[in-house]
Amino acid sequence: MNPTLRSLTALGWLCLSMLCGCAAAKDQPGVSPLRVMTYNIHHGEGLDGKLDLPRIADLIKREGADIVALQEVDKGMERTARRDLGAELAALTGLTCVFSNNYSIQGGEYGNAVLTRFPVKQATNTHFVKVNEIEQRGLLQLVLDVRGRDLVLMATHIDHRR
* Cβ atoms of residues 116 and 67 within 8 Å: yes
Strand partners, 69: 38, 114
Q: What is the pLDDT of residue 26?
A: 53
pLDDT (mean) for 66-88: 96
Distance CA 107, CA 74 (A): 11
6-20 pLDDT tens trace: 334 334 433 443 444
103-145 pLDDT tens trace: 999 999 999 999 999 999 999 999 998 877 778 899 999 999 9
Distance CA 102, CA 51 (A): 21
* Cβ atoms of residues 65 and 57 within 8 Å: no
